[in-house]
Copies of this chain bind each other. A is one copy, B any other.
Amino acid sequence: MTRLNMFNSISLDGYFTDSSNDMSWAHAGGDNKEFQDFVAANAQGENALIFGRVTYEMMAAFWPTPAAAQAMPEVAKGMNAAPKYVFSRSMKTADWAGTTVLNGDPVQEIARLKRESGVDMTILGSGSLVKQLTAAGLIDDYQLMVCPVILGGGRTLFEGTTGKPVLKPANSRTFQNGKVFLHYTA
Protein backbone atom coordinates (compact mmCIF):
# COMPACT_ATOMS: atom_id res chain seq x y z
CA MET A 1 0.00 0.00 0.00
CA THR A 2 1.37 3.40 -0.94
CA ARG A 3 0.38 6.61 0.83
CA LEU A 4 -2.08 9.24 -0.38
CA ASN A 5 -1.30 12.83 0.62
CA MET A 6 -3.30 15.99 0.01
CA PHE A 7 -1.59 19.37 -0.22
CA ASN A 8 -3.29 22.73 -0.65
CA SER A 9 -2.76 26.38 0.04
CA ILE A 10 -5.75 27.76 1.91
CA SER A 11 -6.75 31.23 3.05
CA LEU A 12 -7.19 32.16 6.72
CA ASP A 13 -10.90 31.53 6.25
CA GLY A 14 -10.39 28.05 4.81
CA TYR A 15 -10.82 28.47 1.03
CA PHE A 16 -8.51 26.90 -1.58
CA THR A 17 -9.88 29.02 -4.44
CA ASP A 18 -11.58 32.39 -4.20
CA SER A 19 -15.06 33.00 -5.60
CA SER A 20 -13.58 33.58 -9.11
CA ASN A 21 -11.72 30.24 -8.95
CA ASP A 22 -8.44 32.16 -8.62
CA MET A 23 -5.47 30.76 -6.67
CA SER A 24 -2.90 33.50 -7.34
CA TRP A 25 -3.28 34.95 -3.82
CA ALA A 26 -1.46 31.81 -2.62
CA HIS A 27 1.81 33.00 -4.24
CA ALA A 28 2.18 36.08 -2.01
CA GLY A 29 5.26 35.77 0.20
CA GLY A 30 6.62 33.00 -2.03
CA ASP A 31 9.91 34.86 -2.58
CA ASN A 32 10.97 34.30 1.04
CA LYS A 33 14.14 32.12 1.15
CA GLU A 34 13.10 29.99 4.15
CA PHE A 35 9.77 29.30 2.50
CA GLN A 36 11.25 28.59 -0.95
CA ASP A 37 13.66 26.04 0.52
CA PHE A 38 10.77 24.22 2.16
CA VAL A 39 8.61 24.21 -0.97
CA ALA A 40 11.48 23.04 -3.18
CA ALA A 41 12.30 20.19 -0.78
CA ASN A 42 8.62 19.26 -0.56
CA ALA A 43 8.35 19.16 -4.39
CA GLN A 44 11.42 16.91 -4.76
CA GLY A 45 9.44 13.77 -4.01
CA GLU A 46 8.63 11.20 -6.65
CA ASN A 47 4.91 11.33 -5.91
CA ALA A 48 2.32 10.95 -8.62
CA LEU A 49 -0.12 13.90 -8.75
CA ILE A 50 -3.89 13.42 -8.57
CA PHE A 51 -6.41 15.97 -9.86
CA GLY A 52 -10.08 16.54 -10.50
CA ARG A 53 -10.80 18.01 -13.92
CA VAL A 54 -11.24 21.64 -12.81
CA THR A 55 -7.97 21.84 -10.90
CA TYR A 56 -6.17 19.87 -13.63
CA GLU A 57 -7.16 22.36 -16.32
CA MET A 58 -6.00 25.30 -14.17
CA MET A 59 -2.65 23.63 -13.45
CA ALA A 60 -2.13 22.41 -17.03
CA ALA A 61 -2.61 26.00 -18.26
CA PHE A 62 0.13 27.31 -15.95
CA TRP A 63 2.94 24.90 -15.07
CA PRO A 64 4.19 24.06 -18.59
CA THR A 65 4.52 27.80 -19.50
CA PRO A 66 7.72 29.91 -19.51
CA ALA A 67 6.08 32.16 -16.87
CA ALA A 68 5.94 29.25 -14.43
CA ALA A 69 9.53 28.18 -15.24
CA GLN A 70 10.68 31.71 -14.47
CA ALA A 71 8.61 32.28 -11.33
CA MET A 72 9.15 28.89 -9.65
CA PRO A 73 11.74 26.87 -11.61
CA GLU A 74 12.14 23.99 -9.12
CA VAL A 75 8.44 23.52 -8.54
CA ALA A 76 7.61 23.80 -12.25
CA LYS A 77 10.23 21.17 -13.07
CA GLY A 78 8.78 18.79 -10.48
CA MET A 79 5.19 19.40 -11.57
CA ASN A 80 5.95 18.84 -15.25
CA ALA A 81 8.04 15.71 -14.69
CA ALA A 82 5.63 13.98 -12.28
CA PRO A 83 3.22 11.25 -13.39
CA LYS A 84 -0.29 12.74 -13.27
CA TYR A 85 -3.79 11.28 -13.01
CA VAL A 86 -6.90 13.33 -13.76
CA PHE A 87 -10.42 12.15 -12.93
CA SER A 88 -13.05 13.09 -15.49
CA ARG A 89 -16.10 11.43 -16.98
CA SER A 90 -15.86 13.54 -20.16
CA MET A 91 -12.13 13.90 -20.99
CA LYS A 92 -10.60 11.30 -23.31
CA THR A 93 -7.04 12.59 -23.59
CA ALA A 94 -4.93 15.28 -21.90
CA ASP A 95 -1.95 17.24 -23.26
CA TRP A 96 0.14 17.91 -20.16
CA ALA A 97 3.09 15.50 -20.25
CA GLY A 98 2.72 12.32 -18.22
CA THR A 99 -1.05 12.51 -17.75
CA THR A 100 -3.34 9.49 -17.48
CA VAL A 101 -7.09 10.17 -17.71
CA LEU A 102 -9.23 8.06 -15.38
CA ASN A 103 -12.95 7.84 -16.17
CA GLY A 104 -13.93 5.48 -13.35
CA ASP A 105 -15.07 5.97 -9.77
CA PRO A 106 -12.36 7.89 -7.85
CA VAL A 107 -12.72 5.80 -4.69
CA GLN A 108 -12.24 2.51 -6.54
CA GLU A 109 -9.48 3.84 -8.80
CA ILE A 110 -7.49 5.36 -5.93
CA ALA A 111 -7.86 2.23 -3.79
CA ARG A 112 -6.49 0.25 -6.74
CA LEU A 113 -3.59 2.68 -7.31
CA LYS A 114 -2.67 2.53 -3.60
CA ARG A 115 -2.48 -1.27 -3.85
CA GLU A 116 -0.87 -1.63 -7.27
CA SER A 117 1.06 1.45 -8.39
CA GLY A 118 3.95 1.31 -5.90
CA VAL A 119 4.12 5.13 -5.95
CA ASP A 120 2.95 7.57 -3.27
CA MET A 121 0.40 10.12 -4.50
CA THR A 122 -0.47 13.75 -3.78
CA ILE A 123 -3.82 15.40 -4.52
CA LEU A 124 -3.59 19.12 -5.31
CA GLY A 125 -6.70 21.33 -5.21
CA SER A 126 -9.65 19.20 -6.33
CA GLY A 127 -12.16 19.83 -3.54
CA SER A 128 -14.68 17.24 -4.77
CA LEU A 129 -12.04 14.51 -4.88
CA VAL A 130 -10.68 15.44 -1.44
CA LYS A 131 -14.15 15.22 0.01
CA GLN A 132 -14.93 11.82 -1.58
CA LEU A 133 -11.57 10.32 -0.65
CA THR A 134 -11.78 11.66 2.93
CA ALA A 135 -15.22 10.04 3.30
CA ALA A 136 -13.74 6.77 2.02
CA GLY A 137 -10.83 6.97 4.50
CA LEU A 138 -8.25 6.86 1.70
CA ILE A 139 -6.24 10.00 2.50
CA ASP A 140 -3.26 9.35 4.81
CA ASP A 141 -1.68 12.81 5.05
CA TYR A 142 -3.38 16.20 5.15
CA GLN A 143 -1.07 19.13 4.39
CA LEU A 144 -2.49 22.65 4.32
CA MET A 145 -0.40 25.78 3.78
CA VAL A 146 -2.33 28.58 5.51
CA CYS A 147 -1.84 31.95 3.79
CA PRO A 148 -2.48 35.15 5.81
CA VAL A 149 -5.19 36.49 3.52
CA ILE A 150 -8.95 36.76 4.06
CA LEU A 151 -10.86 35.81 0.89
CA GLY A 152 -14.41 36.21 2.23
CA GLY A 153 -15.70 33.37 0.05
CA GLY A 154 -14.68 30.61 -2.33
CA ARG A 155 -14.49 26.82 -2.43
CA THR A 156 -13.75 24.70 0.62
CA LEU A 157 -12.06 21.30 0.56
CA PHE A 158 -14.36 19.38 2.86
CA GLU A 159 -17.87 20.75 2.17
CA GLY A 160 -20.44 18.28 3.43
CA THR A 161 -17.97 15.89 5.08
CA THR A 162 -19.82 14.06 7.86
CA GLY A 163 -18.72 12.44 11.13
CA LYS A 164 -16.34 15.24 12.19
CA PRO A 165 -13.12 13.26 11.65
CA VAL A 166 -10.32 14.23 14.06
CA LEU A 167 -6.79 14.12 12.60
CA LYS A 168 -3.49 13.34 14.32
CA PRO A 169 -0.71 15.93 14.64
CA ALA A 170 2.37 15.51 12.43
CA ASN A 171 5.02 18.17 11.75
CA SER A 172 3.24 21.51 11.44
CA ARG A 173 5.47 24.60 11.34
CA THR A 174 5.38 28.37 11.00
CA PHE A 175 7.27 30.52 8.47
CA GLN A 176 8.65 34.06 8.71
CA ASN A 177 6.49 35.16 5.77
CA GLY A 178 3.34 34.46 7.77
CA LYS A 179 2.44 31.19 6.13
CA VAL A 180 1.79 28.26 8.45
CA PHE A 181 2.14 24.65 7.31
CA LEU A 182 -0.45 22.35 8.89
CA HIS A 183 0.37 18.66 8.68
CA TYR A 184 -1.90 15.95 10.05
CA THR A 185 -2.39 12.24 9.46
CA ALA A 186 -5.69 10.37 9.34
Q: Does A99 contact B (CB under 8 A)?
A: no
Known contacts A177-B169, A180-B172: A12-B158 contact under CB 8 Å: yes
Task: Compute how far the CA of A105 lies from the CA of B172 in the bound complex, rounded to whole angstroms.
Answer: 40
Is there an interface contact between A184 and B144, defined as CB atoms closer than 8 Å? no
Task: Compute how far the CA of A155 lies from the CA of B11 in the bound complex, rounded to whole angstroms.
Answer: 15
- 24-83 of chain A: CB within 8 A of chain B: 25, 28
Please name all residues of chain B whose beta carbon is closer than 8 Å to the beta carbon of A180 when the two chains form the complex. Answer: 172, 180, 182
- Per the CB 8 Å criterion, the residue count for chain A at the interface is 42
Known contacts A28-B166, A164-B152: A184-B14 contact under CB 8 Å: no
Is there an interface contact between B142 and A12, defined as CB atoms closer than 8 Å? yes
- 145-186 of chain A: CB within 8 A of chain B: 146, 148-153, 156-162, 164-169, 172-178, 180, 182, 184
Is there an interface contact between B160 and A153, defined as CB atoms closer than 8 Å? yes
Q: How far is the CB of A159 from chain B (nearest CB, A)?
A: 7
Known contacts A150-B158, A164-B18, A167-B149: A182-B144 contact under CB 8 Å: no
Q: How far is the CB of A87 from chain B (nearest CB, A)?
A: 21
Q: Which residue of B lies closest to A171 (CB)?
A: B174
Q: Does A121 contact B (CB under 8 A)?
A: no
Q: How far is the CB of A80 from chain B (nearest CB, A)?
A: 29
Known contacts A158-B150, A184-B148: A174-B176 contact under CB 8 Å: no
5 contacts between A and B (CB under 8 A): A13-B156, A149-B164, A169-B177, A172-B174, A178-B184
Q: A28-B166, A150-B165, A167-B178 are in contact. List 4 more A-B contacts (CB 8 A).
A: A13-B159, A146-B146, A148-B166, A149-B166
Q: Which residues of A contact B (CB under 8 A)?
A: 10-15, 18, 25, 28, 134, 142, 144, 146, 148-153, 156-162, 164-169, 172-178, 180, 182, 184
